[in-house]
Chain A
Amino acid sequence: MRTITAFCSAAFAGVFALCLAPSFGFVRSRTADSCNPIFWRQSCVYIQPDNTFVPDLAGADVERIIQKSVNNWMTRTTGSFFKLNYLPASEPKSVTYKDHLSVVVFRSGTKFCRPASDGSAQVCYDASAAAVTTVSYINKKGDPDDGLIVDADIELNAVNNQFVEIGKNLPASDGRNQTDLENTLTHELGHLMGLDHTCRLSADPACLTDDQGQPRQTCDAIDRGRLLNPTYQAIYVTSMFAIAPQKDIEKRTPKADDVTGIAAVSPIANDPKVCEPPTTVATGCKCDMGNRGRPPMSALFTVGIAILAMLRRRRHQALLGQPEEHERHALGL
């Protein structure tokens, strides 16, 4: 009996240690040239789905799940100033870095592609990705704006995935992967806010490390080794792990690593207290703020808006002698 007691104690101690595994492994996304971490300068970003949604789910359900995915982060990232503001779907949306609006678009049909538009050819993605998030940033080595995120958009692969809500009545399988939408979106929103995967699929540049300064381990090695390695298990269950079993819902819940990562990208002490809606949404116009061949103009536009807003706030404070509400939801939506 003494042997059994000792065995049980050791086993429970192991599991206890697993549960209390320290935070390891969040990885910030970095720029291509300088390898600086990318970051948001404004206090928030507006997220709006394309109103054509996806045949697999009712539009109202898609909107509810997107908001739930947003809340999965916002209820936990209290150490970060960054806010994800949801805008209800209103019209079809195209994916472009120029609108400074984070759109969520489902891609259906026979291939996972961004469709052709305005005479341009379509761009197709890998069929094995459940979703693709594209983050656009200023790439200007040595400049304070290097790494400043100007836009981020999410495209969901409904060609190879049947998006569902695990835990509710599942529809009959039609041959596509049954993929939990909330799980996928929570992961993609982590990218949108500035996080990279917590494991690597291939070789990394030497500068790409986790918060401990360690190179990322391969996703395969973590998957294989996690049964015996609490640190690997802790990384495996993060929302930002690159690979997940089918019907996985583990990524719905950001873990300590994920939450710490968001606080590192946008620490609350550095809150710029500027939260402007995208111009395209506020005015309804799809103004071309970019300039072919001179992409930084759009970024300068963003920075300009931020400076104007800060000047306006200071003037307002000087006139009233009291602080202005830090987030303006000017849309009234």
Chain B
Amino acid sequence: MNRSAKGLIAVLCGVLLGSSGAIGSVAEASVLTKLTLSDMTGRAEHVLVGRVEKVDSKFAPGYDGVIITEVQIRCHRSIRGAKEGTLLTVRHLGGAVGELGQKVFGEASYQVGEEVVILAELREGALYSVGMAQGKLHIDRSTGTPRVQVDLGGAELVAPTGLDAVPTAQGVPLETLIGQLNDLVRRIPSPSERAKSGQKP
């Protein structure tokens, strides 16, 4: 194959990829900003593995038009904040009270009994999962090894834990994620820790 033929192929490939809109996967986002694990760790006061024990929707105090849902999660493994065995209440907007339902798009849904990894931040005195549904990671045990659907792209600077860190269709092993989160928690302080040390929260 001569040089001009190779050049033609290169140009064609460029045109084809460009025209398909396939170039340029940017992490920043407009509709919902894609948060990396590092981003979420920097916003989280609590990072833990737990099980959902109760899901309860009600009207927000003072409002008769805004529904919030409080989710009680028993901490089984603490990574930051909440102690093991304690009950953490995480709130999300939307839910159903009586015959009124409210849907707030982008919020996570929770099922009683569900196992989750939660990264929770404090807003107006209540805890919310960071980045709406992004900070709630469902643990799937259907393949034997517990796995989590998560993008580890934001944790590329973290030292390898020795476990498979490549996401698959089934997600990454829970232990891999916990290893990454432990490393991130050591490196990135929580907002309250930053406030205490005089850094910008």
Q: Does A129 contact B (CB under 8 A)?
A: yes
- Beta-carbon contact of B1 and A140 below 8 Å: no
Whether A140 and B99, one on each chain, are in contact in the complex, defined by CB atoms closer than 8 angstroms, is yes
B residues 12-58 near A (Cβ < 8 Å) are 12-13, 16, 19-22, 24-26, 28-35, 57
Inter-chain contacts of B1 with A (CB < 8 A) = 3-4
**A128-B98 contact given A97-B65, A123-B63, A202-B137, CB 8 Å threshold:** no
B95 near A32: Cβ-Cβ < 8 Å: yes
Q: In the complex, which residues 108-150 of chain A have their Cβ closer than 8 Å to any Cβ of chain B?
A: 113-114, 116, 118-140
Interface string of B161-187 (1 = CB under 8 A from A): 000000101000000000000000000
Stretch at the interface among A54-62, A236-244, A320-328: A236-244
Name the residue on A nearest B149 (C-beta). Answer: A218
B108 near A: Cβ within 8 Å?
yes
List of A residues within 8 angstroms of B57 by Cβ: 32
Check: A180 CB closer than 8 A to any chain B CB: yes
A247 near B: Cβ within 8 Å? yes
- Given A15-B20, A96-B65, A138-B99, A247:B104 Cβ within 8 A: no
Q: Does A282 contact B (CB under 8 A)?
A: no
Query: A272 within 8 Å of B by Cβ?
Result: no
B30 touches A129 (CB 8 A): no
What 1/0 flags go to A169-185 for Cβ under 8 Å of B?
00000000101100110
Write out the residue numbers on chain A whose beta carbons fall within 8 Å of the beta carbon of B20: 15, 18, 233
Q: For the complex, count residues of B whose C-beta is within 8 A of A.
A: 66
Interface residue? B144 (CB, 8 A): no
Q: Is B93 located at the chain interface by the 8 A CB criterion?
A: yes
Quick one: which of A33, A119, A203, A299 has the most chain B CB within 10 A? A203
Contact B33 A130 (CB under 8 A): yes
Instruction: Report yes or no: A137 in contact with B101, Cβ–Cβ below 8 A.
Output: yes
Q: Is the CB–CB distance between B31 and A244 below 8 Å?
A: yes
Given contact pairs A140-B99, A202-B133, A130 touches B25 in the complex (Cβ within 8 A):
no
**Interface status of B97 (Cβ within 8 A of chain A):** yes
Bound CA–CA A218/B94 (angstroms): 21
| B62 pairs with A11, CB closer than 8 A | no
Say yes or no: A128-B132 contact (C-beta < 8 A), given A33-B96, A245-B28, A248-B30: yes
Contact status B60-A205, CB under 8 Å = no
Tell me if A203 and B138 are in contact (CB < 8 A).
yes
Interface flags, B130-168, vs A, CB<8A=1, else 0: 111110111010000000011100000000000000010
Tell me if A301 is interfacial: C-beta within 8 Å of chain B. Answer: no
Q: Is the CB of B32 within 8 A of A243?
A: yes
